[in-house]
Each structure stands twice: as structure tokens, then as C-alpha cells.
Structure 1
Amino acid sequence: MTISLQDKVIWITGASGGIGEALAKQFARAGAKVVLSARRRTELERVQQSLPHPERHLTVPLDVCDEHAQQQALDQIMHHYGRLDWLINNAGISQRALVMDTSSDTDRKIMEIDYFAQVALSRRVLSVMLKQGAGQLVFISSVAGLVGTQYRGSYSAAKAALHLWANSVRAELYNQGIRVAVVFPGFVKTAVSMNALTGSGEALGKMDDAQAKAMTADEFATATLKALRKGNSYIVIGGFKEKLAAYIARLSPELLYRLIRKSKVR
């Protein structure tokens, strides 16, 4: 089975660069009508113009943490297209700080962006999808949300919470036509580590070595689209070590804990 994306209306958050931009290009090439959201309007417009048939797509600037703005954005999409088929929850922020060096304010900021905002937006979109009788939610989580590593305590917690909330949605709404997929990226070469929060809540401002040597965003997006079109709902995409860690997490947590203690993930 290969799911057709022709003329599907697909909303992508965090679409002004990195993974979000790469996903937008893949979906547009597959025939979808893509809605691009992020805070930076000029970057969204740049991405839109890079897509095939730019006039088919829509830019909707959005601070994903602003719930009033979420509703306005959804209303704009519905007015423009009359429906919404997929939501790709990709907006988020990472972390590079030890747990004892991380302030409570930073904990809350990461959880607000990476969990609460995603849940609030998904619930709004679900109200539309349930009326339609069909819809697809996709959450971009992280391998860190499956295994938990040093320097990412709050980030791992937020991504794990998102994964399990998605599991509940899948169980509750499957019979009402709602499909839910969670994607767990390993390292991807984007600006995610540049923007990652330190313990004090400031941006790290530099790229990790692992990030710099990782798969490209286009490679990640290609693999993600292939898995989603197959109807997969649990999708791990990364290098050998990340895939192995995700596998061991399910097979032998105790072994995973020992391996993580010895790993160097900064």
C-alpha cells in the first residue's frame, strides 16, 4: 500500500528551515498542497517560492505557543482550502545542558514548546479532522525521547511525553478515521544544536560534531515520506547507533542504561 498525497492539504510547523523545509519540499513534489508555518515570514515565503507550483501552497506565520494564534491560523487554512488532511508537528527546540545546570524556567520553556504547544495545536486540528471523518497527525519526536541521554534531560522528557500522548490519540480515535504517526530522528544536519537551550535558557550558538556529520535534512525527509506513505506509525530514522539504541531500548532497558552512561553525546 502506498498512500497518495495528491492534493492533500498538509500543514507543517517549523517549516522555515531544516527538517520542516525539507519535508515541505518532499510533500510538494508528491502533489500535496503544503501549509508552511513558523515565526519568520520572510523565510516561509522563501521556502514557498522554492516549492513546485508555489501558488498551490500557503504561508501562515505562527508562534506555535500562542493558542489564540493557533486558532487564527487554523481558521485561515480552512477558509483557504476548506479542509485539512495532515498536520506535521515539527516545531520544537532542543537542549544542551546537564540536569543539575538547567533552571526550572528552561525546563518549562522546553516543555511548553515541545509538548504543550504540540498538544494544543493537535487538539484544535483534531476537531476539524473528526468532522471530516479522517485525518493524519504526524509528530516529529526524537531518538532522545526513546532512550534519554546526557545533556538532554528536559528535551528527552518532552519528546517522550509527546510520543505517549500520540499513542493515546491513536488508540482513542482510530475508529473515527484518525491516523497517528510518530517519527524519531537521530542526528540530522540542521541548526537544531545552534538553537538548543543551555541551562540558563540561552541558545548554544554552535553546531555539535555529531550534528555536523549526520544525515542531511533532505535524506531524513525522503526516508520519512517513504515510511509515512507506507502507513507506518512508529518510524525511527538515523544512523546505525541511533537505530541500535532505539532497538535496545525496547529489548533490554538495563543494557541501554549501561551503554548510555558510557556514551559521549555532547
Structure 2
Amino acid sequence: MAKRDDLNGKVVWITGASSGLGEALAKECALQGAQVILTARRFEELEKVRVSLLHPDQHLSVCADITNEEQVRHAYEQVLAHKGRIDWLINNAGLSQRALITDTTMQTERAIMEVDYFSQVYLTKTVLPTFLAQKSGRIAFVSSVAGLLGTQYRATYSAAKAAIHMWANSLRAEVADQGVGVSVIFPGFVKTNVSFNALNGAGKPQGHQDEAIENGLEANEFAETVVQSLQRGEEYIVVGGSKEKLGVWVSRLSPTTLYKMIRKTKVK
């Protein structure tokens, strides 16, 4: 059995940490003794999360828009200046979608890809030299079950989440013999504000909760499962309800059957 990664004293950097999955992951990592670096665009919101964590004084709020390369580089410099190392990077920041392809502007297509794919690639490439120099650490990407299945109303989101999964696979192959682990997390429906912020075709937040999200897994349950899986060094982590897990299983067994199932599914 693989040795469990002890987080006590380790430095864990989480993007999209001001709410939702990021906040839940921060709380769980703090409970495990980690020093957590919280990153999002709004400093006040990050500070609310930081002071709610166990041992708040050992954590750090670092404000940055992850689509702004200059801000990302500055954030990275701040993290190293304060902590000197990074043990885990959790690329969690993301943007969802609730629009048909025919209603989605190219500007919206690019905006989602920028947040969910390019910004994560840039941050990871920025931080990677530190991991390689340490010859240790783990880089995790929060993809989505949607990135494995592809459903109505989420075409660009599904594509971006699939893209970061494949990029992560290539990264894992390239750094496997250098002490750096790479994991991809595939959440199903988890109770967060993700659907409130999901973009419609015009690129505006839809502003209401989806029924599936409302009935989803609690965020703290999600975080507990994910952190335990990362500590065990798991590389492919699906976390969700029975419907999502069934969909992932069918996608591997019979893609044709999956496509038929998706056509009949109401996912809006």
C-alpha cells in the first residue's frame, strides 16, 4: 500500500479559494495541518475564508486574477517569498456554462477556455520549476465529470475540462520520474454557487441554482474525499453521486450507449 502524504506543515496553494470547492478544500487541508495559500480576485473574500480556517495565522491570502499573467507571476513570487516552497498546487478556479451551442458567442467560448484551460496551464508552467527543483510535490487539476461525458448546455465547459485533463496526462508522463505527482479531479454535482455564476450564451452569469447542484454532494464531503485521495497519490479522482459515477463507467465501457443516454437526459 502506498505511503500516505502527510500534509502537516506542507504548503498547499489553492486557486478559486474564496468560495465553493476551493473554500472547502482549503478548510480540509488546514484541518490536516497544511499551510494554505488562498488565491482569487477578491482579497476581502479570501480573508473571510482565511480567518475561518484552523490556525488562521499560518495561512496566506494572495489576490490575483488567474487570467492575468503578470498578476500570476507576482502571486507566485509572493508565495515563495512567504513560504519558500510549494508542496501541492490545486488548480481549482473555474467557470461553468449553461447555454446551447447555437446561443453561445465566440467571446463567451473564449472566456470559458481562458479561465478553465489557458490560465491553469500558465499557472502550472509558472510553478513547475519549483516542483522540479524540489523533486517533490503534487499538481492537481479540478476538471469535471462533464469533461469526461460532454452534455447539452455545457459544450465549451466540457471541452475546456477535457482539455485540461489531457494536458495533465501529458504533464504526468513528462515529470513522472522527477518526483512530481499529477492528479485530475472530476467532480459531479456538488452544492456550490457554480451554477449561479455559470455563463449564458451572452457571457452573463445565469444567476440561479440548478436542481441537480441543489441535490448534490455537500462541499465538505467532496473536499474530504479529494484530500484523502490526493494524500494516497491517486491520479484519477471521480467524486460525485451514483448517476455521475454510472455515466463515467458507461463512458469507458460503451461510448455509444453513453451518447444515447445523454440525448435523453435533461441536464439544464
Match of 1:243 among 236, 242, 245: 245
Paired residue type of 2:86:
L
1:219 CA drift (Å): 1.1
1:17 CA drift (Å): 0.6
> Residue in 1 aligned with 2:93?
91
Match of 1:35 among 29, 37, 51: 37
> Residue in 2 aligned with 1:184?
186
| Identical amino acids, percent of aligned pairs | 55
What's the TM-score once normalised by structure 2's chain length?
0.98
Structure-1 separation of matches of 2:54 and 2:118: 33
> Residue in 1 aligned with 2:152?
150
Cα deviation 1:69-89 (Å, max 9, x = unaligned): 111000001010111111000
> Residue in 2 aligned with 1:126?
128
Match of 1:110 among 94, 101, 112: 112
Match of 1:68 among 55, 67, 70: 70
> Residue in 2 aligned with 1:170?
172
Structure-2 separation of matches of 1:178 and 1:137: 8
Structure-2 separation of matches of 1:15 and 1:241: 27
Query: What are the residue-to-residue correspondences of 1:171-250 with 2, within 5 Å?
Result: 171-250=173-252
> Residue in 1 aligned with 2:257?
255
Structure-2 separation of matches of 1:110 and 1:215: 24
Paired residue type of 1:203:
P
Moved more, 127-136 or 205-214: 127-136
1:180 CA drift (Å): 0.3
Give the RMSD, CA atoms, in angstroms.
0.6
1:241 CA drift (Å): 0.4
Structure-2 separation of matches of 1:148 and 1:140: 16
Structure-2 separation of matches of 1:230 and 1:120: 26
1:62 CA drift (Å): 0.9
1:242 CA drift (Å): 0.1
SS of 1:131's partner is helix
**Number of positions where the alignment pairs a residue of Structure 1 with one of Structure 2:** 266
In structure 2, list runs of 5 or more residues that go unmatched.
Answer: none
1:109 CA drift (Å): 0.2
1:132 CA drift (Å): 1.3
1:156 CA drift (Å): 0.1
1:131 CA drift (Å): 1.3
SS of 2:181's partner is strand
> Residue in 1 aligned with 2:267?
265
1:262 CA drift (Å): 0.6
Cα deviation 1:121-151 (Å, max 9, x = unaligned): 0011101111111121000000000000000
What's the TM-score once normalised by structure 1's chain length?
0.99
In structure 1, list runs of 5 or more residues that go unmatched.
Answer: none
Cα deviation 1:157-198 (Å, max 9, x = unaligned): 000000000000000111111100000000011100000000
The 4+ residue runs of structure 1 with deviation greater than 4 A are: none
1:251 CA drift (Å): 1.2
Structure-1 separation of matches of 2:212 and 2:16: 22
Paired residue type of 1:136:
R
SS of 1:215's partner is coil
Structure-1 separation of matches of 2:15 and 2:125: 15
